[in-house]
Amino acid sequence: MSVQVKGSGTIGGLDEGLVVSGIVTSSTQVNVGSNIKLGSAGVVTATSFIGSGANLTSLPSQLTLSNNADNRVITGGSGTNLVGEATLTFTNSGSAGSLNLKRTTSSNQEAIFYYGSGGLEIETRESTPLILKTNTSPRLQITSTGILVTGGGTAPSSTDVGSIFMPGGGDLGWLTSSGSITFNAYYSGGWKYVTTGTSHILWGDSGGFNFSTASSGSADGAISYSRAMKIHTNNRISIGDGNSTSPLGALHINTKSTMGTDTALYIGSNSDNRYMTINQISGSEQFSHMDLVYNDNGSRSMINLKNPYAPAGYGAAITWKGYNNGDQGYIECKSEGANSANATMYLNTSGGTFLQANHAKHIRMLSQPSFAAYRNQSEYTVNAGSKFEFNTTRHNIGNHYSTSNHRFTAPISGSYQINFYTIYRGNVSSAYVRLYKNGARINGGDIHFTNTSLGSNWDNVSFSQVVSLSTGDYLEIYNGNTGNIVYHGNHWQLFSGWLLG
């Protein structure tokens, strides 16, 4: 062994090793063999120690290797500090290089930094956590039960190794609008399964936040995700990818045909038979119908339409729309008086109200076909086999009786109540009135007179019957007598009818 000293330094031999005092001032190398103790505080144990362009100073209290230009400093003594861009290089052909930090009070209190086969590894030999600090405040703790981010607490115990816990108010963020959280997935030119099983992904893009799923696949196989829901930047939500994921409302449910269900929304209990469903056509994205089911021992109101406005004539309505968004029909309920819940119900078609009922249950059919016709003449003669010409109507709802051709024409198929009344005089051998349908005599349509030898006296004849008519069928009254009969019009005659249903 040889030692070269320049300057005023001294070298002395001690039982515990080699003690160097003084200063080595020149830019030289100091080569120290293995197992050499420098002073009582600084120890170097290695195959060799090389300090390039460095100084040894202030020994034995500290070991300083410095290069003032590069500010590379290692100090020993009560603590060891690396300042600037100091570099420690460990070379060992037998195993990976490592740096061990150990407290002298316990052989177990040790931290090891080393390069292993997988890269840089940090290991603690006790159950105490690995803590990263800034300005003496803990910012990250890694324990045997998980990771605690920000704060000085202890990570909660967890059965899942690798759990990460955030304190209240903590943030986990991406610095761009894109990013993802995946389950059983990794990216390598495309998303792939980590292990055999299903996969899920939560991902953000410039359009919003997406939730996608994938069916089970094999490890390292390509994943084909199907988007289940998206929250858009305009705060609208689409469930399913229908309508090109562009929701037409605050919530747009348009599920994929691949879901194979006929129910898009289900609320309630199926076992109790109390639920609401919005249904679609199974295997498609089209709306089907809605069910409201409430299995009850009463008559429950399942839909409530409310309008608490106080003045008379206000209420609520249900409207049916048709071609070009036109009104096909509607039900409405309007209050009958101010500050009152009493109301009249109206049933309407595109042509207007056809039925109304007030709170006292009085019913009106405003457009129900009905007529009442007579001859506006005191006395007139109808020849045998001729038609009665009723030229005036008392009322004619729908104008279905014609004073021109003297017919009543059915506007709709149904049963009609038909009535006839008149007074007559004259002498004939056989006298009767006939009801014709579509220009022909019908069974049960003849009404015979009770007196055929009246002379100048008056008698009456009348009938009432129900006739079934199809749309466009018409009715007429004929004189079926063998002779001419004088009839009285005005106050003593009426031909009438109305639709029963």
| Residue 101 maps to a domain | no
Do 461 and 374 share a structural domain?
yes
C-beta separation of 256 from 226 below 8 A: yes
Do 495 and 376 share a structural domain?
yes
Give yes or no for residue 40 having a pLDDT over 60. no
Do 374 and 358 share a structural domain?
no
Number of domains in the chain: 5
Q: What is the pLDDT of residues 20-33, one digit of tens each?
A: 444 343 343 343 43
Do 389 and 338 share a structural domain?
no
Tell me the residue length of the chain.
501
Q: What is the pLDDT of residues 224-262, one digit of tens each?
A: 998 889 999 999 988 877 666 788 888 888 777 666 677
| Residue 275 maps to a domain | no
| Residue 95 maps to a domain | no
Q: Which residues contact 186 (CB under 8 A, 6 or more apart)?
A: 192, 194
Confidence of residue 419 (pLDDT cuts 50, 70, 90): very high
pTM across the whole model:
0.58
Q: What is the pLDDT of residues 363-388, one digit of tens each?
A: 998 889 999 999 999 999 998 889 99
Give yes or no for residue 180 having a pLDDT over 60. yes
C-beta separation of 286 from 292 below 8 A: no
Q: What is the pLDDT of residues 198-221, one digit of tens each?
A: 999 999 998 899 999 999 999 999
User: Which residues form the domain of 233?
Assistant: 179-254
End position of a domain, from candidates 35, 63, 89:
89
Confidence of residue 45 (pLDDT cuts 50, 70, 90): very low
Give yes or no for residue 178 having a pLDDT over 70. yes
Check residues 193 and 88 and name the one with the higher pLDDT: 193
The 3-state DSSP class for residue 501 equals coil
Do 155 and 85 share a structural domain?
no
77 dihedral zone (left: phi>0; alpha: psi -120 to 50; beta): left
For 313, 331, 398, the CA distances from 348, given in Å and listed in that order, are 16, 6, 16
Give yes or no for residue 88 having a pLDDT over 80. no
Do 479 and 428 share a structural domain?
yes
Instruction: Determine the Cα–Cα distance for residues 84 and 474; give it in Å rounded to an integer.
Output: 113
Do 450 and 396 share a structural domain?
yes
pLDDT, residue 51, reads 39
| Residue 28 maps to a domain | yes
Amino acid at site 169: G
Do 342 and 233 share a structural domain?
no
C-beta separation of 112 from 122 below 8 A: yes
The 3-state DSSP class for residue 445 equals strand
Do 391 and 349 share a structural domain?
no
Amino acid at site 178: S
DSSP state of 482: S
Instruction: Determine the Cα–Cα distance for residues 54 and 63; give it in Å rounded to an integer.
Output: 11
Q: What is the pLDDT of residues 425-465, one digit of tens each?
A: 888 888 889 999 999 999 989 988 888 888 889 988 899 99
